[in-house]
Structure formats: structure tokens, C-alpha cells
Amino acid sequence: MSSEVVLITGAAKRIGAEISRHLHSLGYRLVLHYHHSEAAAIALQQQLNAKRANSVQLVCQDLTQLHEIEVMAGRVIECFGRLDGLVNNASSFYATPFGDSSPNQWQDLLATNAAAPYFLCQALAKNLQLNQGAIVNMVDIHAEKGLSQHLMYSMAKNALATLTRGLAAELAPKVRVNGIAPGAILWPEHPLTAAQKQQVLSSIPMQRLGEAQEIAETVAFLLFGPRYLTGQIIALDGGRSSQGLSEA
């Protein structure tokens, strides 16, 4: 068993849970963060600890409470006494149409998608430096140009992209910092019509949704792959962001 320890935020469900299962299958010990999804987090912890005893710990935290992040970081280190990797996966995502959005929505979206990762990286930097660790931030292909009806979310993810590139320089050479910009990986939790789904699929050269496992495999690659790779954001979107190239 590897002794390396990875913290994954938003780990209880969907992509976070798949990242957790994959890293655990590779032998890593995990600290899984959750907020509202307590039942799912406990079930995942029990499932993974049944495969390898005492290999997974849980930490509950509301990431919008930025003043509590440093205390959370201390609880994370207490779990296993070390930290080698951080995956900033937790994210609020919902529509905020321009002209009909609120300061509370701004604070929530900015906190979970940008501010909490910033302060969590800051609080855990020394522990990651001790083990020449790595950080992976979950960005979004819409961070650069924005997603219709989701301007606040897009702005927050753009800030996370800036953090990824800037922090790579700040923490080099001891800590590597990279990001993943997913495209359409899972259908959103709110239902879409068949026509809406087809519209999304028709914009993807690979003509399918991505799989959560593909995100998890890329996270593992960025955490424990080439030591010379830092400051990069990989678009994992089936070629969607390459659209618009002129044909010969």
C-alpha cells in the first residue's frame, strides 16, 4: 500500500466519488470532504474501508465559510499526519441569468469554485511542500468564454484557472499545480429534454459524453505523473473546445 494521502473536496457523489474510488484502487489513502451529502460520504467511506481498513477518513465542512478553512486544513492533516495531493473538486453550479442574480449567489459560487480552493491551497501548502506534492483544480471549458445563463459560475471558474497557473509559479519547484477543464461529462442533476441533450452531443466531435472514470484517470495522472508538468489546464471535452478550426 502506498503511504501517500490525497484530500478530495466534494468527494461524496458523482465525479468526486469516482475520483475517490479510482485513487483508492491505486493504493492511496484518502481524506474525503463533504458538506450536505453525509449519507453518501459515509457509505463511500465504508465501501472503501471494507476493501482496505483505515484507509479513508471523512471531513465535513461548508466551504463558503472561508474563515473556517484553516481549521479544516488542520483536521485534514490530523487524519493521517501528512498530505501528498489535493483535488479541488467541490463546486456549486446553477443558472444565474444576468439581471436576475443576487449577491448571495455570487458569494456562494465564488466561494466554492475559487475562494475556498485558494484558501485551502494556502493552508495546506507547507504540508504539500514537505512531500513534494501536487494540486489538481477542477476548472471548466466554459471558464474562458462563459456559459450562457451561468455568468457568475463562469467568472468563478475563470478565477480558478488563474489560480491554477499563478500558483504553479508560486509553489514551484516543490509543489506542482495543474487543472482539468471538463466538458460534458455527466448530465446535470436537473433534467434536460431529449432535444437539449442532442444539442450538446452534436457540439462534441467525439459524439458522446465523457465518463467520470476518464476524469479520475486524468486526476491520477496529474497528481502522480510527470514531475515536470505544472501550470497546465487539460481540456477533457471530447474535442469540443477545438471546434471552429477551418477546413482544408
Catalytic option among 34, 94, 153, 228 = 153
Residue 153 known to be catalytic? yes
Q: Are strands 85-88 and 56-60 parallel, antiparallel or unpaired?
A: unpaired
Cell 451561468, residue located: 150
Of 127, 157, 132, residue with least CA distance to 142: 157
For 168-181, the DSSP string reads HHHHTTT-EEEEEE
Query: Phi, psi at residue 7, to the nearest 5°?
Result: -100, 130
Dist CA 30 CA 27 (whole Å): 9
Buried/exposed 202-218: b ≥16 CB within 10 Å, e otherwise: eebeeeebbebebbbbb
Buried/exposed 221-236: b ≥16 CB within 10 Å, e otherwise: ebbbeeeeebeebbbb
Active site residues: 153
